Amino acid sequence: MRFKYSKFQKLAIKWLTFFLTLCFVNSILAIKFDFLDDYSYSFAFILPFAHTALIIVSVMVYAGYRWAKDNFIGKNEQYIKCYYPVIWKKLRPGGDFSYNIYAATRFLKGEYDDGTDDKLNHIKLNYKVNKNLIYWAFFLTVVVWLFNFLLVHT
């Protein structure tokens, strides 16, 4: 089974790639060429920071929408609950509305299953992509800030 990105995930990947390029160009114009005069440094540093919050909220809203889509328990969660009740109990120790982040991390690493179920692997990949989108947005800020500091001090 080949992993299929959702429309949201495809759009987010394209947007983050575009935005990273935009931040680098903005930094070069703002810091090296004083494109914005007095606001050049602050705009170069604030833009990626503000963007991170936007991406994190977007991914969380998307994940919440997908979760609430089917009677508050999504299809992925229903599959795990029906076919892997032991894993489900580890992920949701207090019932449907609880969540164990430590068990979820171990689940995504493949510690609770043997990796032969394609549908379960697809579910794990979907969660990993969403998690990685948030990481990408966060580390984009760090990379752009380091790039800006290098530009300022050269």
First-to-last CA distance in the chain?
A: 50
Residue 53, pLDDT > 50, answer yes
Query: Which stretches does DSSP call E strand in 45-106?
Result: none
Please give the share of the chain, as a percent, with pLDDT higher than 90.
Answer: 18
Task: Indicate whether this model's pTM tops 0.75.
Answer: no
pLDDT tens, residue by residue, 96-117 = 778 888 998 999 999 999 989 9
Residue spans per domain, the chain: 40-144
Mean pLDDT of the chain: 83
The CA distances from residue 57 to 108, 110, 134, 146, in Å, are 22, 27, 9, 24
Statement: residue 17 has pLDDT above 80:
yes
Cβ pair 46, 144 in contact under 8 A: no
Distance CA 11, CA 142 (A): 22
Q: Categorize the per-residue pLDDT at 36 as very low, low, confident or very high, splitting at 50, 70 and 90.
A: low
Q: What is the pLDDT of residue 69?
A: 64
The dihedral built from the CA positions of residue 79, 83, 86 and 89, taken in this order, carries a sign that is positive
Q: Rounded CA gap, 93 and 122, in Å?
A: 23
136 pLDDT above the threshold of 80: yes
pLDDT computed for residue 1 by the predictor: 59
| Mean pLDDT of the region 25-49 | 74
Q: Is the dihedral of CA 11, 3, 60, 44 positive or negative?
A: negative
Residue 10's nearest CA partner among 62, 65, 70 is: 62
Q: How confident is the model at residue 39 (pLDDT cuts 50, 70, 90)?
A: low
Q: For residue 72, is pLDDT > 60?
A: no
- Give the total residue count for the chain: 154
